[in-house]
Amino acid sequence: MNSAKGLVEIAPGAYHLPSYLTNQEQLQLVIRCRELGTQPTGFYRPTVRGGTKMRIEMLCLGRHWNPMTYRYEPNRSDYDGKAVPPLPADLSTIAGRVATAAGFLFEPDICISNYYPPDGRLGLHQDKDEHPETLRVGIPIVSLSVGNTAQFVLGGMRRKDPTRTILLASGDALVLAGPSRLRYHGVPRILSESGPKELNLNGRFNLTFRRY
């Protein structure tokens, strides 16, 4: 496994970039998430197939991921029918820089931003609803986290494969690409009061940038 300062290869094609964002960039990202999240097309708490409410709040940019159909669409048809806001250039630029640091060229057109309250979590899943060609060639997913630290589990290609836990702290970036693009992953727990006090955020924002 490769390990250079600031870039830890945790599996082939999966990279952890601890403290990628400066304190100032973290604060700026929290402000952006709050701005975007309080617009009329802001965060909402999705209900998945089967009727269970997710333990996070979601806001999609660029395209909406429909938690009922597991498909991307231009409007939030599972919720309020509103048109999904565009993916702002300042956010996609950061994601592109992260990918470059991990050795990939990446131009995202979607961001799914999730707000995890202190008891938030996200079950084990694969990100496999993007275009089949995107998945086939392993175009990266770039993730940015701010606020409380998350226990992030990374598994294999099958749900039952063994998992390992990585702590994603405020300012950390993660890249899942190539042979790791379809690994199962999830967030079983957020560590309370673990984020930088200056962010004034009792929870966590995570943004995953994708290419449809």
Minimum distance from residue 186 beta carbon to Mn ion (Å): 8
84 binds, among ligand SIN, Mn ion, none (CB under 5 to 8 A by kind): none
Q: Which listed residue (78, 127, 130, 172) binds Mn ion by CB under 5 A?
A: 127
State the Cα–Cα distance between residues 185 and 165, nearest whole angstrom.
10
- Contacting positions for ligand SIN (CB under 6 A): 112, 114, 122, 143, 145, 150, 152, 168, 185, 187, 206, 208
Q: What are the CA-CA distances from residue 131 to residues 16, 108, 134, 211 (Å)?
A: 24, 13, 5, 8
Comparing CB distances to ligand SIN, the nearer of 40 and 147 is: 147
Apex CA 155: angle with CA 151 and CA 1, to 5°?
A: 95
Minimum distance from residue 207 beta carbon to ligand SIN (Å): 9
Residue 170 φ then ψ, to 5°:
-60, 130
Q: Which residue is nearest to ligand SIN (CB)?
A: 206
Task: Provide the H-helix boundaries in the chain.
Answer: 23-37, 89-101, 132-137
Q: Which residue is nearest to Mn ion (CB)?
A: 127
Minimum distance from residue 193 beta carbon to ligand SIN (Å): 18
Residue 5: burial class (beta carbons within 10 Å; 0-12, 13-18, 19+): exposed
Which residues are bridge partners to 57 per DSSP? 115
- The alpha carbon torsion through 191, 87, 182, 184 (nearest 10 deg) reads 20
Minimum distance from residue 126 beta carbon to Mn ion (Å): 7
Comparing CB distances to ligand SIN, the nearer of 177 and 187 is: 187
Comparing CB distances to ligand SIN, the nearer of 40 and 114 is: 114
201 binds, among ligand SIN, Mn ion, none (CB under 5 to 8 A by kind): none
Residues 200/170, Cβ–Cβ less than 8 Å: no
State the Cα–Cα distance between residues 66 and 195, nearest whole angstrom.
30
187 binds, among ligand SIN, Mn ion, none (CB under 5 to 8 A by kind): ligand SIN
206 binds, among ligand SIN, Mn ion, none (CB under 5 to 8 A by kind): ligand SIN
Binding site for Mn ion (CB under 5 A): 127
